[in-house]
Amino acid sequence: MSTATATAPLCRNFVNGRWIESRSGKALERRNPANLQEVVNVSPLSTREEVSTAIAAAKAAFPAWRDTPGPTRGKMLGRAAAIMETRKDELALTLCREEGKTLKESMIEVQRSAGILEFFAGEGRRLGGTTMPSEHAKTLNYTLKQPLGVVGAITPWNFPVAIPVWKLAPALVTGNTVVLKPAELTPLCAVKIVEIFQEAGVPAGVLNMVLGAGENVGDHLLQDRDVRAISFTGSNEIGSLIYGQAARQMKKCQCEMGGKNPVVVLRDADLELATESTVMSAFGSSGQRCTSTSRVVVEEAIANRFVEMIVERTREMKVGSGVDPEVIVGPLVDEQQLKTVRHYIEIGKREAQLLIGGERMAGRDYDNGYFVAPTVFDHVAWNSVIAQEEIFGPVISVIRVADFEEALRVANSVKYGLSSSIYTNDANRIFEFIDKIESGIVHVNAPTMASEVQLPFGGVKATGVGMREMGGAAIDFYSELKAVYIDYNGRRQ
């Protein structure tokens, strides 16, 4: 804990259209994970009472925002997208310094966030239902979508711009009011997002943000009766607790959680394409993406050559601070994540063959940051710890299989089911994989990490529960569906 310093900005809560300093007297100091000597910001550990104030503001603002026409709400999101474009350099640098992504990755995330805002701005003109024929004469049946009320959004540190935006945009355009609780590790990114919405003209109370710890801020959002829905992205441990408590309170809830994403490489695959896609998807963002490639399931007939290519490409990847344009792999986000990744690497050394990496980076450029070398394990058993558990770091596990049928079984052998990919030119195998793979997102000859805003995002099994995010599915989550019957017959039917 710390108090604000002269060089680091003090992050504040945003409640009822005003920036308010927390009264808790407690704060967290956030340092650049690539350079621990740099304090990026100081953020408060807000109290439950401050969360209550934000919820009350959102509740009071709801009736007017609900009655605002959808196209008008959409125009506000459109203005936010335009403002984000003008501030993209500033926002990307903040993301790089606070979370540790490279500047290139940070810029991609900001551009994607602007695209999300543009998409949902257009949804303001498409908030329609359907008309259905009636069994009775002179009767009109139709459905319409209406907002839920106050929504709580709890977001993680690994995509501190995109994930808040992809929760806020559909929630707001459908007429809900929101209390945002961002991750403790990335408060400044959230502050800048809210600044953009404020500049775009979001009315007072419609969007609120309270900074602090999950056991206070997040839990109070979950417990408060005036919060009608919770959208959570984070760990399975926390997500399962949230979903259970939300169900007991009859709150609408969606939880996006872990992943252990496989890439299946068959003997007829384009190995150069598969190599580049696999390495970038595994090591980009230092492996700290729920859609990162974690397992490589490869047919034995081509395994030796493919593994050689993976190791060769891994050796070329520069590790360091994300502000260096040549760096591909930045730091892990904090000391706890560093300990977790190193713990799994030590397990991997006992379970499999370490080919490259496996150590904490040392030297002048690394001693003040949380750097781990990109790591590749070979001859990994499908049921080993490193093949089954989410590591959330720059680690690849190569699992060798005899044929496609075994590859499919191995790919489906984990409790998660977010994203998957197959590299082959065999159309029969492609469509069988699409049919039988247990994942919410499937890629063919493309990396596991890719997604687009107009398509639903989410997974199956332990990865996700509740309705999907992004695309039209997001509109459905943030809406209640009402069926309407209009009888204009003039007599009893």
Report residue 208 as tokens.
Answer: 């609120």
Active-site position among 256, 299, 351, 469:
256
- C-beta of residue 247 within 8 angstroms of C-beta of residue 223: no
Type of residue at 32: N
User: 295 by DSSP, 3-state: which?
Assistant: strand
Measured CA to CA, the distance from residue 174 to residue 475 in angstroms comes to 7
Measured CA to CA, the distance from residue 376 to residue 279 in angstroms comes to 10
Catalytic annotation present for 256: yes
Measured CA to CA, the distance from residue 158 to residue 482 in angstroms comes to 36
Catalytic annotation present for 189: no
Measured CA to CA, the distance from residue 275 to residue 420 in angstroms comes to 15
Strand partners, 400: 298
Q: Where are the alpha helices (DSSP H) in 16-69?
A: 48-67
Measured CA to CA, the distance from residue 479 to residue 42 in angstroms comes to 36
> Which are the contacts of 458, defined by CB distance < 8 A and separation ≥ 6?
254, 256, 418, 440, 441, 464, 467, 468, 469, 473
Run of H or E residues at 363: none
CA 205 and chain centroid, separation: 25
Measured CA to CA, the distance from residue 292 to residue 87 in angstroms comes to 28
Residue 186 burial class via C-beta count within 10 angstroms: exposed 0-12, middle 13-18, buried 19 and up: buried
Active-site position among 118, 123, 290, 390:
290
Give the residue numbers annotated as catalytic, written as ranges. Answer: 256, 290
